[in-house]
Structure 1
């Protein structure tokens, strides 16, 4: 019979062959760093792609249309998570959206190389998609937005105080091509304008397109919430207080009835159940 010993765990072990023996430890040698590196890179790329698709995406600012809030070359981070939960663009937000009706047809486009496209695809570089725009939401569905003379812009009859408008610009333009208007935003649409009012081809100047200048909500990529690069320009992008002034929200008139209905329905159901229980 061969020699065997009983270890602390009670099982038979052959001399020198146990998992805790020097020979057993040698057979479990770890893989080298260079063999694991491709796996680590692959995992990192998958995570970056998931983050870009569902959470946050970086975008580069290509033009002057949002000065001084955003400068050409700024990198902003865009929230892509909340739209998955039904969140829609709101007044005052800076939003990125896909070109709704060839707004960029006359703009020069860049030609990123293969590496830049690949890094942009997985989210490791700002988006190379030249069919995206960034503007500020001025009106949402149901709002009446109006510009007369040099301004101010009015939303549902309330004048906006817009300190974010580019210095030297007026809130409204006096040109008749698109600077003077009064529109009501239809369901499923938003009205957008650039902060550099006299250098922004926004909703005002696309009234003849298929959307009449409005941007479909389903074209919105998400809200830009922070300037991430360069570090000297780091700042958040909050909603200005002027969009929270009393009376600007047309939905407020419906709130009491809605709340009343919300309160009546549970009470009615409870009373109905109570009557059935008594019977």
Structure 2
């Protein structure tokens, strides 16, 4: 047997082409995706979270805190609340009984109430990560066309002649109609309206400690009458729908049934009586 007849030796393993060199790595022949460093992923997640917070705050939900005792006992000073902005989209407006947050209609806020959060909290509030200050929280009592009167013999507010039973949320501290003025020197008895288009009349639940629409009613002998008790619907941020802090008092906030039977319009005699009172400009 010659050397030519001998079998050729197997190819050298080192010289054989590598399977990994011939095929792309990863499942189904795709190259494995390169992961970002941890610090870059963290920055990216933070940017996305801030972006979502800004969008949510601008369009849907925003956090606020209660600036005073005017909405007690339901909402206490420094409580944190959530406001739903979409409630009044597409031409919808606040309804009687809604608790709303609105921008200052003009010198309703004191310097203390208007200061809002400071420092880092102020920066976080800009992106919706901390409750915002500088706004007012009140309950809608009258809407466009309504005549509101204080009060009947039981101390109840009347809307379009209908007395409203507010015992489910009103502060039990004395009746809102008293022989003496409250701490804001607001009158005990008054009738006002009809409420102009695009305007609201609002009151605090703690009636004896709330600088609300009543604080801006003109005196009957005030001429000219330059004050305005109305809140423009364009100033409304949204409807309060949840109390979120402190945790032991967390609850949903909804519109009470007290206003369900209010007539849609006041009687002609009630309108005439309200206009004779001269408590608002143009009445």
Name which of 149, 153, 156 aligns with 1:152: 156
Name which of 152, 162, 165 aligns with 2:166: 162
Name which of 166, 176, 181 aligns with 2:190: 181
Match of 2:228 in 1: 212
1:173/1:198 contact within 8 Å kept: no
Rounded Cα–Cα distance in structure 1 between residues aligned with 2:83 and 2:22 = 58
Rounded Cα–Cα distance in structure 2 between residues aligned with 1:62 and 1:21 = 59
1:228 paired to 2:244: yes
Rounded Cα–Cα distance in structure 2 between residues aligned with 1:236 and 1:111 = 24
Shift of 1:111: 6.4
Q: What's the secondary structure of 2:120's corresponding residue?
A: helix
Name which of 260, 270, 281 aligns with 1:244: 260
Q: What's the secondary structure of 2:201's corresponding residue?
A: strand
Rounded Cα–Cα distance in structure 2 between residues aligned with 1:115 and 1:77 = 20
Q: What's the secondary structure of 1:72's corresponding residue?
A: coil
The higher radius of gyration belongs to 2
Q: Which digits, 9 at most, give the CA deviation of each residue in 1:82-136, with x for residues without a partner?
A: 3232221110010000000111145455464332111101001101xx4310000
TM-score normalised to the size of structure 2? 0.75
Match of 1:50 in 2: 55
Q: What's the secondary structure of 1:34's corresponding residue?
A: helix
The answer to which of 115-124 and 104-113 deviates more is: 104-113
Task: Give the 3 Å change call, closer, same or farther, for CA 173–90 of structure 1 in structure 2.
Answer: farther
The answer to which of 114-123 and 152-161 deviates more is: 114-123
TM-score normalised to the size of structure 1? 0.76
Name which of 161, 171, 176 aligns with 2:176: 171
Match of 2:43 in 1: 38
CA RMSD of aligned residues (A): 2.7
